[in-house]
Copies of this chain bind each other. A is one copy, B any other.
Amino acid sequence: MITTFYNSIKTYGIWGIALSMGIFSISTAQAEEYFTIKNNELQRPTGYREWVYVGTPVTPNEMNNGKAAFPEFHNVYIDPKSWAHWKEKGQFRDGTILMKELVAVGSKAAVSGLGYFQGEFLGLEATIKSKKHFPNEPGNWGYYSFSTPDHTRLNTSAKAFPTASCNACHAGAAADDFVFTQYYPVLSAGKAAGKNATGGVLSDLTAKE
């Protein structure tokens, strides 16, 4: 059997063997633990509030002519396996999924002062980095939205947006591999930071990794 195997490698090459053994499909499946794409549609991910949170901007409707592009807060999460990779390598691995959960401004004043306070959930978006699904997209990122136009429901699945819809802005302004890490301090402070990425480890808040 070993002789036969060796002969096969000589004939087909090691990659030919790997392909026929389905090794590529195994490793791709392992990159997709946190999402499922079926018939070209991303199935709405669940459980992401137990992933790793990376930061929240707020673009209130009232500051954006009544209609912010991503109303109004958005809480962003990275899947746990990609977080582990980010802490170690400072890169987004193939198979990264980031969730963006939209939240309404619920209040503009509280006992803690004036500002913007979170209210009801409004929508859900996602971005996935995948060579398999987005071989021709910049950085291999695809972008999705599950929000309905009136922001009262979430669709069960979604097709990816065309490049111009989302990546165009990311390409021009995002700090790191098409991700706006400059606004997500858990990511920027955590880049290849190991244990220091997990919070409360460093006493010096001004220390750069």
Contact = CB atoms under 8 A, between A and B. Distances in A.
A73 interface: yes
A68 B198 contact: no
Contact of A183 (B64, B118, B124): B118
Contacts of A103: 55, 185
A133 to B, nearest CB: 19
A117 interface: yes
A156 B190 CA distance: 20
Stoichiometry, as copies per complex, reads: 2
Contact of A57 (B117, B123, B201): B117
Nearest to A116: B58
Nearest to A202: B154
A52 interface: yes
Contacts of A172: 111
A131 interface: no
A178 interface: no
B116 A57 contact: yes
A169 B59 contact: no
Nearest to A148: B205
Interface in A169-209: 169, 172-173, 180, 182-186, 189-190, 195, 197-206
A113 B69 contact: yes
A70 interface: yes
A205 B152 contact: yes
A101 interface: yes
A184 B57 contact: no
Contacts of A64: 113-115
Contacts of A204: 152-153
Closest 7 interchain pairs by CB?
A53-B53, A49-B199, A59-B115, A59-B113, A46-B200, A56-B56, A47-B198
